[in-house]
Amino acid sequence: MALKGLDIFKLTPKTNCKECGNPTCMAFAMKVASGALTIDKCPHMSAEALASLSAATEPPMKTITLGEYKLGGETVLMRHDKTFVSKSLYSVHVCNAAPAEYNDGVLADLEVVDYDRIGERMHAELIHVNYVPGCPDDYYLDLVKRSVATGRALILNTSLELAEQAIALCGDAAYALQGANAENYEAYSALATAKKCPLVVGAANLDELHDVVEKLEAAGNKNLILDVTFDSAAAAFEGAVEVRRAALKGNDRTFGYPSFVDLTRLARGDKNMQCALAALFTAKYGSIIVMDLDYASALPLFGLRQNIFTDPQKPMKVEPGIYPLNGADENSICMTTVDFALTYFVVSGEIERSGVPVNLLISDAGGYSVLTAWAAGKLSASSIAKFIEEQGIENKIKNRTLVLPGKVAVLKGELQEKLPNWKVVVGTREAIELVKFLREYQD
Amino acid sequence: MAFKRASQKFNAAINTVTIGTGDKALAIGGANAYPFYKFDSVSPNPARIGIEILDTGLAGEPAGVCAFYEGCSTVAEMAAKACTLEGVDFVCIRFASADPGDANTPVETCVEIAKAVAAVATKPLAIAGCKNMEKDTALFSAIAEALSGQNIMFLSAKEEDYKTMSASVGLAYGHIIGAESACDINLAKQLNVLISQMGLKNDKVVANVGSAAAGYGFEYVSSTMERVRSAALAQNDTMLQTPVVTPVASETWGVKESILPEEDAPKGWGPAEDRGIRMEIATATAVLASGSDAVILKHPTSVATISKLIASLA
């Protein structure tokens, strides 16, 4: 149960010593209650008070660390309520029961599907290395070795017998251990605890999963990831939703862990269905999504993930600079717009559709749309002229035509004065009209 | 302590709108839980799939689309063929060529096409325009009159033309209006209020609250849909209980991921058609998960995948 500020205040020393950085014990207690501070920031808290409070003031969903990545730690069910903090991690899948050409293909694709989108690296963060009993052990260990070599974090779904050997191969690579279920969780948990790695826990259904997690927590292991794949897409979706909802709405700390879904189990070999399910679990509560990730699926999924996990309080921005489109060179005309990512995507998309070579100049407008940036003074004749000067555009591009967004036609006169060598042209008000405008434009 | 489900029951539901008549009538909406939350409450109608056919025919369409419609020489023949595709619930004819900036196909020609389609289609119809509002309003009014009483879904009415649309398409000929707004819950609600003030009943209005391809500002689309659905169910906001019908194909098949030919694309992208299909599939799934009651798709492979997805989750 969430505690009120007053309940916490009663347990503080009430000395207002300020050592925690707050003016009064009351102020400190209020911040702890809101989740802004943790209780251990007070150096004078008694051991009993700490124990009773830290359990009660824990965040509803734990943050699990896997190498450089954070999982979980979410506080809301819908992104517009605040923001989602840990993006879904995408994992490719290799398996010792799969033919060599499948595994080789997966590891080769991993190298290819690795690109930049609005300043963020787009790649599968994880490799799920799956063990099927009865299939060669040495091939499994070989796959582990090759996966470690890629520099990705690993999920080792393995037998207990092989786990130590597989872990020994990981070296500095981050990994999570998978394979624990209702029967064998004690041995897996002991190993995961000893190796300080997260443990992926599975079960036959949600009730059993809850039961196993309770037992693991009682044994002191709180570094868990919950496998909600079960046996069908419907069960997996229910699992992902119920786990997240129980933690954030139902005050059920037992389910306060990130979820794991393995789409290669739910839609083996069906890349279209895996793409659909990956979109579903990206939107709804899959913290780790295992799938066959080729480029065709990567393009929409990485874009979707980037959108869903942007902070609604911060605009998405592209880097200011020159973006040559359709093979534009120094003789191609220039267009300018703002650095708001959505504007950039819509405008660049329409320019690409027109097929006309254009140098798109993106100036720093605070990440706002055209009219908002203009109203806020972030997009003005001075800001554009300054951008052209600072970026040394006149040395890089010989063409002297600059097309302004139609919505800020009002800037034309002033901009023309500031850039006497240029021919300032007013473009279209809407991006959708750009194709026609560009195809008909005669420089 | 045993696991206690934190399920959400609502005393509110999305309106049910029926398109088409008689044997081919199709109910859209009616949900009283979040999308695919059948563990909370099973919705009376599964999510629906429309298939989009352009009046411009098959020029420039992906090979899989052309192969499916092989042998069809008119829009009506294509529509008849589309009705036979498994997973298709309704057919949407998009009069892209009516755009004055394009071929500017006259209204009379479009009406003839619509009549021919209505004569052969075995599934309910939706009619979409060319995005030139003046032309669309004229076009919709004329088709509405020609196909009076057939309960067709017209996409769409905007803030600027909702009066004409409500009066000459909805009230005069009994068709269904799609209220289109751009990713803003307040605009969506306002338009629904204005249309209801025109006298149109709840069961004659659907909404398109905004659409975008995955990666192209999709966060606005999903958050708008989620907010609209939350307000409709949790707060019983009757002015936001309109079923949401989202055109997906017209957004996803225009972005560079879907159309850039393999030879011009960055290394490893592979065939454009595969990319286009996945873009359509991923976007449609995300739109449905956010709170759409129907999606409009184009590629037969996307239709097959999404209908399988809906069946497996419903």
Q: DSSP 3-state assignment of A189?
A: helix
Q: What is the pTM of this model?
A: 0.89
* Whole-number percent of chain A with pLDDT over 70: 98
**H or E element, residue A358:** strand A358-362
C-alpha–C-alpha distance, residues B186 and B192, integer Å = 10
| pLDDT exceeds cutoff 80 at A427 | yes
pLDDT digits (tens, 9 = 90+) for B184-215: 999 999 999 999 999 999 999 999 999 999 99
pLDDT digits (tens, 9 = 90+) for B112-133: 999 999 999 999 999 999 989 9
Per-residue model confidence (pLDDT) at position B26:
97
A1 or A53, which is more confident: A53
| pLDDT exceeds cutoff 80 at A55 | no
| pLDDT exceeds cutoff 70 at A1 | no
By Cβ distance, the residue of B131, B219, B306 closest to A276 is: B306
Extract the runs of DSSP E, i.e. beta strands, from A217-354.
224-227, 259-262, 288-290, 321-325, 333-337
Predicted confidence band of residue A2 (pLDDT cuts 50, 70, 90):
low
Contact: B219, A79; criterion CB under 8 Å: yes
**Among A83, A74, A123, residue whose Cα is nearest residue A258:** A74
pLDDT digits (tens, 9 = 90+) for B245-264: 999 999 999 888 999 899 98
By Cβ distance, the residue of A252, A294, A300 closest to B282 is: A300
Q: What share of chain B is helix, strand, coil (3-state, %, to 5)?
A: 45, 15, 40
B114 to chain A, closest Cα gap in Å:
26
Helices and strands (H and E) in chain B: how many: 12, 10
| pLDDT exceeds cutoff 80 at A53 | no
- CB contact at 8 A, A189 and A180: yes
Residue A243 vs residues A425, A431, B9, B290: alpha-carbon distances, Å? 56, 42, 17, 19
A151 to chain B, closest Cα gap in Å:
21
Q: Is the dihedral of CA B148, B151, B152, B158 positive or negative?
A: positive
Which DSSP state fits B288?
H
Please state, rounded to an integer, the average pLDDT across all residues of chain B: 95
Residue B173 in contact with partner chain A when CB distance is under 8 A: no
The total of other beta-carbon atoms located within 10 Å of residue A67's CB is: 17
Contact: A303, B305; criterion CB under 8 Å: no
C-alpha–C-alpha distance, residues A379 and A434, integer Å = 20
Q: What is the 3-state secondary structure (H, E, C) of A94-124?
A: EECCCCHHHHHHHHHHHHHCEEEECCEEEEC
Residue B312 in contact with partner chain A when CB distance is under 8 A: yes
Contact: B268, A295; criterion CB under 8 Å: yes
Which residue type occupies A48? E
* Whole-number percent of chain B with pLDDT over 90: 90
Residue B184 in contact with partner chain A when CB distance is under 8 A: no
**H or E element, residue A428:** none
Average pLDDT over residues A191-195: 96
Q: What angle do CA A410, B182, A407 make, to 5 degrees?
A: 5
- Structural domains in chain B? 19-24+36-313 (3.20.20.20)
Q: Which segment of A117-121, B221-225, B267-271 scores lowest on mean pLDDT?
A: A117-121
Q: Which two tokens stand for residue B169?
A: 């398409």
Contact: B282, A279; criterion CB under 8 Å: yes
Residue B99 in contact with partner chain A when CB distance is under 8 A: no
Contact: A349, B256; criterion CB under 8 Å: yes
Average pLDDT over residues A213-232: 96
The interface predicted TM-score (ipTM) is: 0.97
pLDDT digits (tens, 9 = 90+) for A291-335: 999 999 999 999 999 999 988 877 778 889 999 998 899 999 999
Adjacent-strand bridge partners of A64: A71
Q: Is the dihedral of CA A231, A79, A257, A270 positive or negative?
A: positive
- Structural domains in chain A? 5-57 (1.10.15.40), 63-308 (3.20.20.20), 321-442 (3.40.50.11600)
Chain A residues near residue B2 by CB distance under 8 angstroms: 207, 210-211
Extract the runs of DSSP E, i.e. beta strands, from chain B.
16-19, 26-29, 48-54, 90-94, 125-128, 153-157, 176-180, 205-208, 245-247, 294-297
- CB contact at 8 A, A188 and A177: yes
Q: What angle do CA A131, A137, A138 make, to 5 degrees?
A: 125
Residue B79 in contact with partner chain A when CB distance is under 8 A: no
Output the DSSP codes for A290-319: E----HHHHHHHHHHHHHHTS-TTS--BPP
pLDDT digits (tens, 9 = 90+) for B282-301: 999 999 999 999 999 999 99
Residue B313 vs residues A76, A243, A273, B244: alpha-carbon distances, Å? 24, 17, 12, 19
